[in-house]
Amino acid sequence: MKKVPILGGTRFIGRNLVERSEGTDEFDITLFNRGRTGGDLFPGVKPILGDRSPLNGSDQG
């Protein structure tokens, strides 16, 4: 079984990836999102809630 992490799986591209992969034995899906929308859309998928923004502001230059 292939492990597949998907970032932002409740929007267009991520959601389609999850829907196509869900219910097959070929993939073990982990869905990372912020928990703002549709966290319960895919009950058979392992959810991880989090924030992708940097903790220390290192992207500010």
Q: State how far the alpha carbon of 23 is from the alpha carbons of 37, 41, 53, in Å.
A: 22, 13, 31
- pLDDT: which is higher, 3 or 10: 3
Domain for residue 5, yes or no? yes
Domain for residue 7, yes or no? yes
Average pLDDT over residues 19-41: 80
pTM above 0.75, yes or no: no
Expressed as residue numbers, the domain containing 16 is 1-36
Closest CA to 45 of 55, 17, 56, 54: 17
As a whole number of angstroms, the distance between CA 21 and CA 17 comes to 6
Q: What strands lie across the sheet with 46-49, from one edge to the other?
A: 2-7, 27-33, 46-49
Predicted local distance difference test score (pLDDT) of residue 60: 59
Domain for residue 10, yes or no? yes
In this predicted structure, the answer to whether residue 57 has a pLDDT above a threshold of 80 is: no
Q: Whose structure tokens read 């703002």?
A: 36
